[in-house]
């Protein structure tokens, strides 16, 4: 069954970071994605990785004679272009949005950067940690008595970057169906991460968020919202914020200490946390799972990447699948009538000749590109 983006043609200029993830999501949803690869795989290249699934690949050097013309022909027939280079790189390659939109007015030109296409920091290098630092998000993460804790780069690159690039591309595609006109999608990780922090900025406005780390109920200060070590050295998480869920946790754990009745008395939180730490250390993680998992106590075991695929809920939901011996997360979200489906992992340049032939290039033209060093 075809996915909801069946018939949508995407050209992906292979890069590192969130752009390959965005392209993977579009491919999972049924888009025909052609990845433009370098002739040799580079650092964190998509070659052979699960981030490269569901594409076709053409390996071509855009700096060599004839390569730009080939890429422009590809872009002429595309609905979407995705690139994740620094501002100005695509323009220097002769593939900038002004030229591409002139040739293909309905093109959605998706640009993924850290700082954005403009602004004082736009031309400078950075990574996820730098972008979320500027948004205020990183400062709120970690323990009160030490430097902020770097989270996995899901916060900036994937959450603030890839997901907002996908959102922008889909919104622009929808609008282009009505107007007949494409546009540029400027997706910046710092922009998306800042928007994801909207609730915390609202709490700040209300005077309900303290800038001191680990002093708010969602940042590890509240005893009823956090992680605890068990007797076996493994961990569990609890989050019964609502009073009825909190009371259920106390009931199931047979806690009758009257100090726990003052759930929102912040002055008592350090004492209550200490008591919960001692309680959770008294049993193994599996024992706590048998007691609490599946209840409304807002409880879960803290699983590592090896354990998560084996959890019964994840297996029942099919959160992981195996392809050619590689275990990878399944597509999301789930659509009832046109579900997403992952394609095979593609190797760098494995479809080069096929794609060139579909563009109408004959053997002589392909031989010229090879002699010029544009293709392998």
Query: Which of 290, 310, 330 corresponds to the end of one domain?
Result: 310
Q: What does the pLDDT read at residue 44? A: 44
Closest CA to 18 of 256, 250, 193, 273: 193
Q: Is 225 exposed, middle or buried (0-12, 13-18, 19+ CB in 10 A)?
A: middle
Q: Is the pLDDT of residue 48 over 80?
A: no
CB-based contacts of 318, cutoff 8 Å, min separation 6: 330
Are 260 and 160 part of one and the same domain?
A: no
Terminal Cα-to-Cα distance of the chain (whole angstroms): 35
**Residue 223 neighbours by CB distance under 10 Å:** 21
Mind listing the pLDDT tens digit for each residue in 154-178? 999 999 999 999 999 999 999 999 9
CATH number, domain containing residue 46: 3.40.50.10540
Residue 157 is among the residues annotated as catalytic for this protein: yes
Whether pLDDT at 292 is above 60: yes
The count of structural domains within the chain is 2
| Model confidence pLDDT, tens digit, residues 250-264 | 999 999 999 999 999
Q: Which of 127, 139, 286, 296 is catalytic?
A: 127
Domain assignment of residue 252, given as a range: 226-310
Q: What is the CATH number of the domain that holds 263?
A: 3.30.1540.10
Catalytic residue from among 157, 186, 191, 219 = 157
Q: Are residues 14 and 142 in the same domain?
A: yes
* Domain membership flag for residue 214: no
Q: Is 286 a catalytic residue?
A: no
């Amino acid at each position: 069954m075809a996915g909801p983006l069946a018939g949508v043609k995407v050209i992906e200029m292979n890069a590192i970071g969130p752009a390959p993830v965005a392209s993977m999501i579009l491919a999972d949803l049924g888009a025909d994605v052609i990845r433009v690869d370098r002739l040799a795989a580079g650092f964190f290249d998509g070659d052979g990785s699960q981030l490269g699934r569901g594409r076709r690949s053409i390996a071509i050097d855009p700096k060599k004679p004839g390569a730009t013309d080939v890429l422009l022909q590809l872009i002429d027939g595309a609905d979407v272009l995705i690139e994740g280079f620094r501002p100005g790189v695509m323009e220097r390659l002769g593939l900038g949005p002004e030229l591409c939109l002139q040739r293909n007015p309905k093109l959605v030109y998706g640009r993924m950067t850290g700082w954005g296409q403009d602004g004082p920091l736009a031309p400078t290098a950075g990574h996820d940690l730098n972008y979320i630092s500027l948004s205020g998000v990183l400062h709120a993460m970690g323990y009160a008595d030490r430097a902020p804790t770097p989270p996995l780069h899901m916060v900036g690159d994937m959450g603030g970057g890839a997901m907002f690039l996908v959102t922008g591309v889909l919104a622009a595609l929808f609008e282009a169906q009505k107007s007949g006109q494409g546009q540029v999608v400027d997706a910046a990780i710092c922009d998306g991460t800042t928007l994801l922090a909207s609730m915390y900025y609202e709490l700040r406005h209300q005077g309900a968020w303290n800038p001191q780390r680990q002093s708010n109920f969602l940042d590890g200060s509240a005893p009823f919202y956090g992680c605890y070590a068990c007797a076996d050295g493994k961990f569990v998480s609890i989050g019964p914020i609502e009073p009825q869920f909190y009371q259920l946790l106390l009931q199931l754990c047979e806690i009758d200490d009257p100090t726990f009745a003052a759930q929102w008395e912040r002055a008592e939180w350090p004492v209550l946390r200490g008591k919960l730490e001692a309680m959770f250390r008294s049993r193994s993680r599996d024992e706590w799972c048998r007691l609490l998992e599946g209840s409304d106590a807002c409880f879960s075991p803290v699983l590592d990447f090896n354990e998560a695929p084996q959890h019964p809920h994840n297996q029942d939901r099919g959160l992981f699948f195996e392809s050619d011996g590689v275990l990878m997360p399944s597509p999301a979200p789930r659509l009832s009538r046109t579900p997403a489906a992952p394609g095979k992992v593609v190797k760098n340049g494995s479809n080069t000749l096929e794609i060139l032939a579909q563009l109408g290039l004959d053997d002589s033209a392909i031989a010229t590109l090879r002699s010029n060093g544009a293709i392998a």
